[in-house]
Amino acid sequence: MRQGKSGCSDRQLSPEKTEAILEGGMKEFLARGYAATSMDRVAIAAKVSKATVYSHFQDKESLFIALIQRLVEQKFQSIFGAADEQILQMTPQVVLRNFANRALDGGINEPQFLNFMRLILGESGRFPQLARAFVRNIEQTAFRSLCHYFANCPHLKLADPEATARIFIGAIVHYMIVQEMLHGRDILPMERDRLIDTLINLIITERAEYP
């Protein structure tokens, strides 16, 4: 059976079974890790046959990458969605605060997201292709949107919009990793608003230095 780039076959497949397999895969990966999860276990968790799993996803890596894509779509694509055009017309302070808060809310308030991120980080040494797939999807959504905003916002004249976008997102991701994933809130406490305020002030200051 011919497979498409996403790992799914080209014939029409059941959305309900696809969702069941994704949910079963997420459950197994989080419970057992990537290496110990098998397509047999995923089929049992999804309550479908093994043949059905393979008709939707050609192998375990394709299933894992599909979960990454779904995670990114759910948590990051909506940060600068079409419905937020009105926000994008506001001052950079408002836009960037909205971006940072939505990115942090999308991660911190969802335990499954944090656990899946821990899994990706934990497996990145043995399975670097999984980490690369995650970075690639982030690059195509959250980072690309923010970089485009920095490069085209008439109120900002940044010397390097791409580097600024990486610094901004990098600080948010570091906050989530240290404060939430690594349980470092008591060791390295940092108020969320303090971090966001400082990031925004740094960017606005650079704007002032490059009129």
pLDDT of residue 180: 86
In this structure, how many other beta carbons lie within 10 angstroms of the beta carbon of residue 1? 8
Q: Which residue has the higher pLDDT, 83 or 145?
A: 145
User: Which residue type is seen at 78?
Assistant: S
Could you tell me what percent of the chain has a pLDDT over 90? 52
CA separation for the pair 189, 184 (Å, rounded): 7
C-alpha closest to that of 117 among 195, 56, 39, 175: 175
Domain ranges of the chain: 15-67, 76-209
**For domain 76-209, is the CATH number 1.10.357?**
yes
Write the DSSP symbol of residue 11: S
- Determine the longest span between alpha carbons in the chain, in angstroms: 63
pLDDT, tens only, 102-138: 888 877 778 888 899 899 989 999 999 999 998 888 7
CATH of domain 15-67: 1.10.10.60
C-alpha closest to that of 53 among 63, 61, 65, 64: 63
What mean pLDDT do residues 55-74 have?
Answer: 91
Is the full-model pTM beyond 0.85?
no
> Binning pLDDT at 50, 70 and 90, where does residue 4 land?
very low
